[in-house]
């Protein structure tokens, strides 16, 4: 009974907190901690300090990339690719938004791409829903394939905390092809979704009004013809070089400094989470010193603000979840450990619905991964179903999905009458399920 009551407290805090955003979720988690400690008598768990420090370093670096203009250069190249191949926008748009997220570590880059994708689609007489909805899905799937994302650095850190020293390259060797495969399958399905514009009665009725037609087919501002300062390009190359260096150190641990932990024991390599922290801060410093960036402006960027919200959210929700699970670890090991061993897909379901509950892949990982490791779930299973950490497309409440609907002036990307029948649900399920299938095969082959 106590386990059930405690779980209801945990669930209530998540439901109430998520209504107030990431910072609100962290604050409500503090209430849950007090209830667990003073009412249930639970010993408080430990906030994931190493994870939080790694997130802080990565977010700082990403903030400098955006403020320096390096992100703008990436968006310019992405637009150039799409406008050079307009007939294939339904395939190329999601691949582009996925790739941008992988490079930058945040799905927020997609907001700038939506008007470009829409403009290309409508000028080619392609139903805008086809590329736009799957592009929104793809931008979020790329989070669990990016070495610069809060989600991936959290997995690396949690694994290391439990003695599973998988390199970031090993994790990405599963996550990148798994999520990319999911994006491609979802894009292929999207090629034929919905009615063609010339056969869509609602669309034809809309553009029968000259003013609405002008609005629907109006031009969108482009980055292609804009001359960008050389410092923008320099910042982009510095950032990409930093990602490459992280991959090299992750692939060749002998290059990492080794230190003796105690007398008589062989030296151990410096933790990869610490390496990521140092390298990300160094990259940020190089951008600051060579790319004409004002450090005070970094805090005003959308990428930095979103990252800090994610950091605070992980702090509160992971601490609360750790407190609950640690005090019931014996029972959970017996039940959950056996269940996941018998039915590996059960872990994927837990990750998926937790993600929807907290509207964040990073927060879901902060809850589910430590719990799974504590109850003895095979790390290979956790990495197999990394795509399942994206479940918040299930209801169209996430900002990128709402923005996608807003940018589609044709009205084809929409929320249906029954809410759940919206433009993102089928490509979302196709992407996640196929990503999990590919990830399962790869994880059991590589690891």
Task: Give residue for tokens 């609360």.
Answer: 320
pLDDT at 208: 93
Asked whether the predicted pLDDT for residue 388 surpasses 90, the reply is yes
* Displacement of CA 421 from its chain's centroid (Å): 23
Does 116 or 399 have the greater pLDDT score?
Answer: 116
User: Which range marks the domain in which residue 75 is found?
Assistant: 2-446
Name which of 233, 206, 178, 195 is nearest 438 in CA terms. 178
pLDDT at 262: 63
Give the length of the chain.
Answer: 447
Asked whether the predicted pLDDT for residue 102 surpasses 80, the reply is yes
pLDDT at 161: 84
pLDDT at 264: 64
Q: Averaged over 92-111, what is the pLDDT?
A: 89
Q: Averaged over 70-83, what is the pLDDT?
A: 93
pLDDT at 409: 92
Q: How many CB atoms lie within 10 A of CB 202?
A: 11
Residues facing residue 268 across a β-bridge: 259
> How confident is residue 130, by pLDDT bands cut at 50, 70 and 90?
very high
Among 317-326, 345-354, 415-424, 432-441, the range of highest mean pLDDT: 432-441
Render pLDDT for 227-281 as a digit per residue (tens, 0 to 9). 999 999 999 999 999 988 988 887 777 788 888 766 667 777 787 788 888 999 9
pLDDT at 327: 87
Mean pLDDT across the chain, nearest whole number? Answer: 89
Q: pLDDT over 90 for what percent of the chain?
A: 53
> How confident is residue 27, by pLDDT bands cut at 50, 70 and 90?
very high
Q: Averaged over 209-225, what is the pLDDT?
A: 86
Rounded Cα distance between 249 and 10, Å, is 38
pLDDT at 261: 65
- Which region among 20-34, 74-88, 175-189, 422-436 has the lowest average model confidence (pLDDT)? 20-34
Q: Between helices 361-374 and 329-342, what is the axis angle to 10°?
A: 100
- Which region among 198-202, 297-301, 332-336, 384-388 has the lowest average model confidence (pLDDT)? 332-336
Rounded Cα distance between 75 and 305, Å, is 20
- Which region among 243-247, 320-324, 328-332, 441-445 has the lowest average model confidence (pLDDT)? 328-332
Which class for 407: exposed (0-12), middle (13-18), buried (19 or more C-beta within 10 A)?
buried
pLDDT at 339: 81
Tally of domains within the chain: 1
Asked whether the predicted pLDDT for residue 371 surpasses 80, the reply is yes
Asked whether the predicted pLDDT for residue 193 surpasses 90, the reply is yes
Render pLDDT for 249-262 as a digit per residue (tens, 0 to 9). 877 777 888 887 66
């Amino acid at each position: 009974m106590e386990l059930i009551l405690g779980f209801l407290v945990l669930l209530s805090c998540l439901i109430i907190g998520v209504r107030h955003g990431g910072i609100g979720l962290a604050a409500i988690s503090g209430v849950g901690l007090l209830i667990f400690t003073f009412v249930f008598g639970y010993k408080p768990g430990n906030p994931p300090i190493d994870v939080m420090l790694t997130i802080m370093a990565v977010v700082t670096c990403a903030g400098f990339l955006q403020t320096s203009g390096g992100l703008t250069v990436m968006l310019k190249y992405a637009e150039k690719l799409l406008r050079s191949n307009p007939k294939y926008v339904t395939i190329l748009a999601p691949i582009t938004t996925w790739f941008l997220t992988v490079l930058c570590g945040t799905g927020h880059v997609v907001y700038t791409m939506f008007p470009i994708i829409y403009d290309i689609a409508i000028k080619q007489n392609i139903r805008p829903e086809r590329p736009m909805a799957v592009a929104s899905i793809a931008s979020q799937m790329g989070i669990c394939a990016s070495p610069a994302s809060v989600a991936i650095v959290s997995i690396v850190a949690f694994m290391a905390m439990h003695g599973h020293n998988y390199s970031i390259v090993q994790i990405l060797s599963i996550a990148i092809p798994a999520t990319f495969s999911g994006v491609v399958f979802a894009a292929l399905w999207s090629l034929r979704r919905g009615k063609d514009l010339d056969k869509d009665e609602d669309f034809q009725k809309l553009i029968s009004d000259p003013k609405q037609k002008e609005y629907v087919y109006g031009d969108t501002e482009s980055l292609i013809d804009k001359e960008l300062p050389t410092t923008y390009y320099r910042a982009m190359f510095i950032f990409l070089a930093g990602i490459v260096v992280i991959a090299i150190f992750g692939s060749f641990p002998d290059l990492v400094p080794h230190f003796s932990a105690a007398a008589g024991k062989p030296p151990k390599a410096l933790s990869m989470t610490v390496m990521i922290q140092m390298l990300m801060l160094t990259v940020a410093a190089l951008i600051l010193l060579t790319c004409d960036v004002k450090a005070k402006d970094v805090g005003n960027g959308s990428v930095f603000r979103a990252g800090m919200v994610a950091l605070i959210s992980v702090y509160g929700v992971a601490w609360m979840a750790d407190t609950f699970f640690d005090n019931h670890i014996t029972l959970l090991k017996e039940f959950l450990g056996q269940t996941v061993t018998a039915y590996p897909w059960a872990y994927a379901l837990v990750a998926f619905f937790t993600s929807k509950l907290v509207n964040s892949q990073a927060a879901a990982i902060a809850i589910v991964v430590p719990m799974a490791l504590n109850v003895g779930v095979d790390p290979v299973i956790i990495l197999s179903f990394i795509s399942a950490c994206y479940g918040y497309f299930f209801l169209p409440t996430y900002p990128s999905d709402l923005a996608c609907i807003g940018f589609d002036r044709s009205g084809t990307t929409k929320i249906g009458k029954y809410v759940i029948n919206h433009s993102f649900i089928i490509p979302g399920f196709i992407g996640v399920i196929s990503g999990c299938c590919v990830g399962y095969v790869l994880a059991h082959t590589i690891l």
